[in-house]
């Protein structure tokens, strides 16, 4: 098949249109993805579990059925902390090697019931928290991390191995890999998508999201989760954008600053009103509040493994259970109270003077080495605020790696944020073909 017509190169929305019109079969798309995986995954290492014969049989079955909607026939990568009926959920932990739950997590059930095909399980940091890192590498430079903890899903979508993937976020585990792999990601409002069947480390923070290669991909999936398409058109001209460097701006790197300023300039040139947004003082304490919540809730989450499989549990997770940071009940309660105070304050900023916040997705490019997944310093506050985030690619940094930005909206305004992102993305992201050329050259 000619490289330009390889279905694996398409966005989910492009593939969906062809499947819906019967101009392409699910089997054709799956076989193309499997060819790409066969040629690339020995070095990218995005997948933990994948059975090619099984998924081809499933694709043929889907091709026999009437369409269940836009997701029908589209393959998915599922982060291996999310349960699936047909593959083990190992959490990248020796404790759960080959462990089979035997049923789908709620979000997997939604997309499978919408006609999607679960291609396989993608690698993750242990328990999507800390401990063992994924073996996955950044498809743009194998010496660099793809980010984490949604390492495999981010790399698989970015490397054209699968059009859609589930990730999760406790700190920056979903949005940061979107930036590092040059893809789009939606972290929905907290609890907008059921977390049943996800191994959680923090009930206050954990959120399930998805990756695609365009905002339309994110919207197709959102509609399956009953997040409706916003009916009100968005004009970039006159759009009020708050440029938020955030209280941790001192951590920014040149590539991250370049991405943010480039996105702001492109929006301004299109008529958007981009103004600096300074957050009030309490927001400067949210980073520490996030740490207190993540550590304390993680201690409770990993206590069963600590008690029953201590020797197999990563030392960093044992230390979390042992509360080596000495977080007190008072600190935890103060952290909860601060977050509860700041959420309505942030939501109240949106209105006549502010439509969307523009902020960094990461410090900069993906760092070198597989001992790290990068730093979530620019994500933690937004995760704790529980509103929706959309990651959009912007440019390449000096090391030749992708860098993106994040659009932030108020809680439960997912539909409006996606509409704004869809209007802004063609201006912010001017290099989709260049990313394709670098990863899949002629």
pLDDT at residue number 352 = 92
What are residue 243's DSSP bridge partners?
Answer: 276, 358
Cβ neighbours around 209 below 10 Å, total: 29
Q: Say how many CA atoms lie within 13 Å of 426 toward its Cβ.
A: 7
Average pLDDT over residues 214-238: 98
**CA 217 – CA 11 distance, rounded (Å):** 7
Mean pLDDT of 23-39: 98
Q: Is the pLDDT of residue 2 over 80?
A: no
Alpha-carbon distance of 322 to 317, in angstroms, equals 9
Residues near 200 by beta carbon (within 8 Å), at least 6 away in sequence: 206, 301
Please check the confidence at residue 4 and state whether its pLDDT lies above 80.
no
Three-state SS string across 161-193, please? CCCEEEEEECCCCCHHHHHHHCCEEEECCCCCC
Give the list of residues 6+ apart from residue 305 with CB closer than 8 angstroms, or none.
Answer: 93, 95, 312, 313, 317
pLDDT tens across 114-160, in order?
A: 999 999 999 999 999 999 999 999 999 999 999 999 999 999 999 99
| Percent of the residues in the chain that have a pLDDT greater than 70, as a whole number | 99
Domain positions in the chain: 8-279+341-439
* pLDDT tens profile 264-283: 999 999 999 999 999 999 99
Q: What is the helix (H) or strand (E) element at residue 423, kind and residue range?
A: helix 414-428
Evaluate if residue 217 carries a pLDDT over 90: yes
- For position 1, what pLDDT does the model report? 42
Q: How much is the mean pLDDT over the chain?
A: 97
361 near 154, Cβ under 8 Å?
no
pLDDT score of 48 more than 70: yes
Q: Which is nearest to 145 in space by CA: 155, 160, 158? A: 155
What average pLDDT score do residues 12-32 get? Answer: 98
Q: Select from 2.30.30.60, 3.20.20.70, 3.90.1300.10, 1.10.3210.10 the CATH code of 8-279+341-439.
A: 3.90.1300.10
Tell me: pLDDT of 442 over 90.
no
Give strand ranges (E) for 213-279. 240-243, 273-276
Q: What is the pLDDT of residue 5?
A: 79
The answer, yes or no, to whether residue 34 has pLDDT greater than 80, is yes
In this model, does residue 3 exceed pLDDT 80? Answer: no
Query: What would the pLDDT profile of 356-415 be if each residue is shown by its tens digit?
Result: 999 999 999 999 999 999 999 999 999 999 999 999 999 999 999 999 999 999 999 999
Query: Residue 296: pLDDT above 90?
Result: yes
Instruction: Work out the average pLDDT over 59-87.
Output: 98
Running DSSP on this structure, what letter comes out for residue 159? T
pLDDT at 26 over 80: yes
Would you say 335 and 289 are in contact if contact means Cβ atoms under 8 Å apart?
Answer: yes
Active site residues: 79, 149, 173
Taking every pair of C-alpha atoms in the chain, what is the biggest distance, in angstroms?
Answer: 63
């Amino acid at each position: 098949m000619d490289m330009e017509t390889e279905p694996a190169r398409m966005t989910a929305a492009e593939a969906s249109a062809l499947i819906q019109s019967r101009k392409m079969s699910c089997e054709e798309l799956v076989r193309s993805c499997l060819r790409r995986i066969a040629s690339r995954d020995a070095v990218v290492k995005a997948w933990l579990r994948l059975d090619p014969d099984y998924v081809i049989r499933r694709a043929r079955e889907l091709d026999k059925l009437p369409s269940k909607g836009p997701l029908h026939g589209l393959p998915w990568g599922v982060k291996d902390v999310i349960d699936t009926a047909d593959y083990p959920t190992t959490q990248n932990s020796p404790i759960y090697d080959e462990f089979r739950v035997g049923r789908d997590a709620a979000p997997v059930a939604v997309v499978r019931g919408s006609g999607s095909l679960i291609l396989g399980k993608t690698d993750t940091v242990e328990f999507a928290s800390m401990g063992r890192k994924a073996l996955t590498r950044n498809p743009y430079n194998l010496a660099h991390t793809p980010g984490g903890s949604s390492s495999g899903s981010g790399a698989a979508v970015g490397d054209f191995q699968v059009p859609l993937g589930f990730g999760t976020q406790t700190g920056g585990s979903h949005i940061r890999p979107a930036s590092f792999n040059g893809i789009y990601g939606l972290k929905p409002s907290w609890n907008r998508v059921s977390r049943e069947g996800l191994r959680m480390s923090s009930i206050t923070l954990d959120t399930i999201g998805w990756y695609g290669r365009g905002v339309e991909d994110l919207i197709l999936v959102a509609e399956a989760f009953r997040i409706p398409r916003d009916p009100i058109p968005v004009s970039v001209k006159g759009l009020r954008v708050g440029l938020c460097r955030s209280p941790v701006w001192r951590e920014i790197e040149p590539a991250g600053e370049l991405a943010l300023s480039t996105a702001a300039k492109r929006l301004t040139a299109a008529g958007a009103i981009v103004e600096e947004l300074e957050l009030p003082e309490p927001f400067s304490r949210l980073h520490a509040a996030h740490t207190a919540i993540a550590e304390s809730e993680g201690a409770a989450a990993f206590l069963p493994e600590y008690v029953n499989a201590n020797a197999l549990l990563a030392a960093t997770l044992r230390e979390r259970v042992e509360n080596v940071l000495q977080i007190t009940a008072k600190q935890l309660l103060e952290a909860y109270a601060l977050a509860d105070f700041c959420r309505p304050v942030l939501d109240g900023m949106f209105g006549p003077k502010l439509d969307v916040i523009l902020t960094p997705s990461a410090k900069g490019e993906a760092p070198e080495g597989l001992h790290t997944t990068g730093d979530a310093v620019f994500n933690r506050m937004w995760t704790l605020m529980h509103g929706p985030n959309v990651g959009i690619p912007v440019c390449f940094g000096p090391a030749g790696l992708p860098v993106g930005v994040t659009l932030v909206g108020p809680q439960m305004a997912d539909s409006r944020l996606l509409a704004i992102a869809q209007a802004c993305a063609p201006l912010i992201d001017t290099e989709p073909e260049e990313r394709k050329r670098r990863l899949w050259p002629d």
